[in-house]
Structure 1
Amino acid sequence: MNHSAPGDDVPTALRDARSTSWSLRADAGRRLANAAEDPEVAGVLHRLLLDGQDTAVTQETAEALLGRGDVCGLRLVLAARAVADDDAGDHLAAALTNVFRQSDEGCERLDTLASALVSDADPSVAEQARRVLAPW
């Protein structure tokens, strides 16, 4: 799922990620999800996933990352979920449901991605991946 619009660029999105406006931060999270492999961008995405000012930023960023449908996006969401407070954690879990758990195909895709992360070098990501795979 590609959320970028023509003319979007990473420097502008990185600037918007620091905005006092929740809607600009949420939009930045959606745009930056496309560049999540970049270490600098990944750090900013982690901050947006744990946005302490507005959970809409958390959920929008998480859904954009999960919408990529790849291990990179899921890994960033699980890393944030491992350290999130209860409120942010609930929104990260809701994003997992919204993106993957609405269909059998989505559930299968989530299981495949989470299975790839159960042996992640980061033990907190591996633990979160095991939790995703546990029956709910």
Structure 2
Amino acid sequence: MTSGLAAALREATSRSWARRARAGHDLAPFADVPEAAEALVRLLLDVEDTMVTRRTAKALSRVGTPTAVRLIALAVAESDSNQADWLRTGVQDALVGPDGVPDMATACGQLAQDQDEAVRRGAAEILVWTRGTSG
């Protein structure tokens, strides 16, 4: 495990919302690593601070791979309405940012075939969020 990944995993459990939000950003490129994926879903569903949810969703959206978007979809399926609002805001932050992001519609389309019904449901919701935004 790289030192950056290990450090971000430690930060993901910090009492500080700012450290947890930074961990979400730093872990996003490691969405395909099981330990990181588990921590990322926890951060997406952070019950203590909505900024952690928002920044983690934005970071995963910027990665834009089906694996990264799958984590957002899982969180969407488990979220309450307030968390879902902040997940949506994070996704939309990434989509309207100046740097552009990979095609979320393509990732959501791939996830529409996922074996997990919750992922399919979450991906369908994310796809709705992406309509009408431009990078």
Give the TM-score category using the shorter length: 0.7 to 0.9
**How far apart are the structure 2 equivalents of 1:20 and 1:47?**
14
Q: How many residues align?
A: 127
Pairwise CA distance, 1:8: 6.2
Pairwise CA distance, 1:37: 0.5
Q: Which runs of 5+ in 2 are unaligned?
A: none
- Is 1:98 the counterpart of 2:89? The answer is no
Contact kept in structure 1, 2:24 and 2:59, CA below 8 Å: yes
Pairwise CA distance, 1:25: 0.5
Q: Identify if the C-alpha distance between structure 1 residues 116 and 16 changes in structure 2 by more than 3 Å, giving closer, same or farther.
A: same
Cross-structure match for 1:121? 115
Pairwise CA distance, 1:34: 1.3
Contact kept in structure 2, 1:8 and 1:31, CA below 8 Å: no
TM value normalised by structure 2: 0.84
- Is 1:50 the counterpart of 2:45? The answer is yes
Q: Identify if the C-alpha distance between structure 1 residues 20 and 108 changes in structure 2 by more than 3 Å, giving closer, same or farther.
A: closer
Pairwise CA distance, 1:108: 8.7
Pairwise CA distance, 1:130: 2.4
- Is 1:35 the counterpart of 2:1? The answer is no
One of 63, 68, 85 as aligned partner of 2:58 = 63
The letter for the 2-side match of 1:86 is: S
Pairwise CA distance, 1:20: 0.5
Pairwise CA distance, 1:43: 0.4
Q: Which runs of 5+ in 1 are unaligned?
A: 1-6
**How far apart are the structure 2 equivalents of 1:44 and 1:131?**
22
Contact kept in structure 1, 2:111 and 2:123, CA below 8 Å: yes
**How far apart are the structure 2 equivalents of 1:77 and 1:52?**
15
**How far apart are the structure 1 equivalents of 2:119 and 2:26?**
23
Q: CA RMSD in A?
A: 2.2
TM value normalised by structure 1: 0.84
Pairwise CA distance, 1:22: 0.2
Contact kept in structure 2, 1:58 and 1:92, CA below 8 Å: yes
**How far apart are the structure 2 equivalents of 1:31 and 1:52?**
20
Cross-structure match for 2:105? 111
Question: For 1:70-103, what per-residue CA distance to the aligned partner results, in whole angstroms no more than 9, with x for missing partners?
Answer: 1111110010010011111101111222222x39
**How far apart are the structure 2 equivalents of 1:51 and 1:122?**
22
The letter for the 1-side match of 2:22 is: D
Percent of aligned positions that are identical: 37
